[in-house]
Amino acid sequence: MKHLLKNIFFASVVALLFVACKDDNVTYAEELKAEQELIADFISRQQIQVVNVMPTTFPWPDKVFYKSKTGLYFRLTKQGDIVNKNDSLITGDIVVPRFDEYTLNVKADTISTRSSVDYPYPPEFKYLDLNQACAAWHEAVGYMKYNNAEAQLIVPSKIGLSKFSRPATPAAYDMDIKISKY
């Protein structure tokens, strides 16, 4: 009986070692593939129509997102203050984004919210200074162009915030912008 207990204990230890040594390392390529599958699933669940040419009329048709060459999915929901077209966004303007950031999971989780109500000094960045904010935000703001414009974004990790780079995780945003000219 003593030998039997010893063998069972030894077998349990060996089994635990195999489980502990299991290779859970997922390659970056596998992360990117899973990210693309999550984006495709989100688009399907939300019944989003993806187009490769940006709509030129406003309002955009319901659930239509433009997919750019960088992989950004963009939907303009409000044009903003377009009364004076000379006030459109130019390089060096200060952009203050307000946004809801959320996951693309089946039950979406709001990751963060940034508004002037919640944060009296919301984040800001200089347009086209790529050291400030992620490439996707600069691209989206370039499409939005005007103060008080609003948009929805689906951002793959490659062009998103660095916190989503590993593991490769897409994020979605409901964003509006304020533009300050200096």
Residue 3 lies in a domain: no
Report the DSSP pairing between strands 73-78 and 150-155: antiparallel
Q: 133 in a domain, yes or no?
A: yes
Residue 23 pLDDT > 80: no
Report the range out of 81-95, 107-121, 142-156, 159-173 with the highest average pLDDT: 142-156
- What's the chain's average pLDDT? 84
Q: What DSSP string describes 21-78? A: T---PPPHHHHHHHHHHHHHHHHHHTTPEEESS---SSSPPTTEEEEPTTS-EEEEEE
What per-residue confidence (pLDDT) applies to 46?
94
Of 17, 19, 20, 14, which Cα lies nearest the Cα of 6? 14
Give me the CATH number covering residue 38.
3.10.50.40
Q: Which of 165, 46, 61, 175 is nearest to 105 (CA)?
A: 46
β-pairing verdict for 110-114 and 125-126? unpaired
pLDDT (0 to 100) of residue 150 = 97
Please indicate, yes or no, if residue 140 is contained in any of the structural domains.
Answer: yes
| 2 located within any domain | no
Query: Is residue 14 in a domain?
Result: no
What distances in angstroms separate CA 1 from CA 4, 5, 6, 8, 174, one per listed residue?
5, 6, 9, 11, 66
Pick from 174, 52, 37, 166: nearest CA to 102: 174
Q: What percent of the chain has a predicted confidence (pLDDT) above 90?
A: 61
Residue 121 has pLDDT above 90, yes or no: no
Task: Report pLDDT digits (tens) over 66-85.
Answer: 999 999 999 999 999 987 76
In a domain, 5, yes or no: no
What pLDDT is stored for residue 109 in this prediction?
57
pLDDT at residue 19 in the model:
43
Three-state DSSP string of 138-171: HHHHHHHCCCCCEEEEEECHHHCCHHHCCCCCCE
| Total of domains in the chain | 1
| 140-163 mean pLDDT | 95
Residue 120 vs residue 48, higher pLDDT: 48
User: Is the pLDDT confidence value at 117 over 60?
Assistant: no
Question: What residues contact residue 67 under an 8 Å CB cut-off, 6+ apart?
Answer: 50, 51, 52, 73, 74
pLDDT of residue 82: 84
Angle at 8 between CA 5 and CA 11, to 5 degrees: 150
Cβ-proximal residues to 162 (8 Å cutoff; 6+ apart), any chain:
134
Higher pLDDT, 176 or 2: 176
pLDDT surpassing 80 at residue 135: yes
pLDDT(41) > 60: yes
Whole-model pTM: value is 0.80
Please indicate, yes or no, if residue 76 is contained in any of the structural domains: yes
Quote the domain boundaries for residue 61.
27-180
Q: Tell me what pLDDT residue 160 has.
A: 93
Q: Judge whether 33 lies within some domain.
A: yes
